[in-house]
């Protein structure tokens, strides 16, 4: 089992930055593929980014490419999502997810999920 806890959400203004963190426990963190997803109000959950077990591979949705950066600290079991140039359309509940196999954007292949953290961007 893997337990995931997100933190760092909040209310910011358009153009601001925010950094989310996802702390993992229960399994060797460096063996996990990690991803971030979000669910905007009234919309379906969408994939944002994935980082491979060693951080060598990072993948981003077009909607956040160039503005968001994912990274990981395997020594401390934490994944980060640096969000810059935030827009109102980035408002959503953000979830981190973990997989024990190589996976990118399919949420069905991530068996482990955090509880989510709210990010609200005002215009």
Over range 98-112, report the average pLDDT.
Answer: 94
- Model confidence over 17-76: pLDDT tens digits? 999 999 999 889 999 999 999 999 999 999 999 999 998 999 999 999 999 999 999 999
Exposure letters 86-111 (e unless 16+ CB within 10 A, then b): beeebbbbbbbbbbbeebeeebeebe
Look at residues 4, 9, 90 and name the one whose alpha carbon lies nearest to residue 43.
90
Residue 95 CB-half CA count within 13 A: 18
Look at residues 89, 98, 97, 82 and name the one whose alpha carbon lies nearest to residue 19.
82
How far is the CA of 26 from the CAs of 2, 42, 48, in angstroms?
A: 5, 33, 24
Over range 90-115, report the average pLDDT.
Answer: 96
Sorted by sequence, the CB contacts under 8 Å of residue 9 that are 6+ apart come out as 18, 20, 94, 117, 118, 119
- Cα separation, 54 vs 67, in Å, equals 22
Over range 87-92, report the average pLDDT.
Answer: 98
Strand partners, 87: none
- What residue has token string 């996976």? 103
């Amino acid at each position: 089992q893997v337990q995931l806890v997100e933190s760092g959400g909040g209310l910011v203004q358009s153009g601001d930055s925010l950094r989310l963190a996802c702390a993992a426990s229960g399994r060797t963190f460096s063996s996990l593929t990690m991803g971030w997803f979000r669910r905007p109000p009234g919309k379906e959950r969408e994939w944002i980014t994935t980082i491979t077990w060693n951080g060598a591979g990072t993948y981003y949705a077009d909607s956040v490419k160039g503005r968001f950066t994912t990274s990981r600290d395997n020594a401390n079991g934490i994944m980060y999502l640096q969000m810059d140039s935030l827009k109102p359309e980035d408002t959503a509940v953000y979830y981190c997810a973990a997989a024990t196999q190589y996976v990118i954007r399919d949420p069905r292949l991530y068996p482990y999920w955090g509880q989510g953290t709210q990010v609200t961007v005002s215009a």
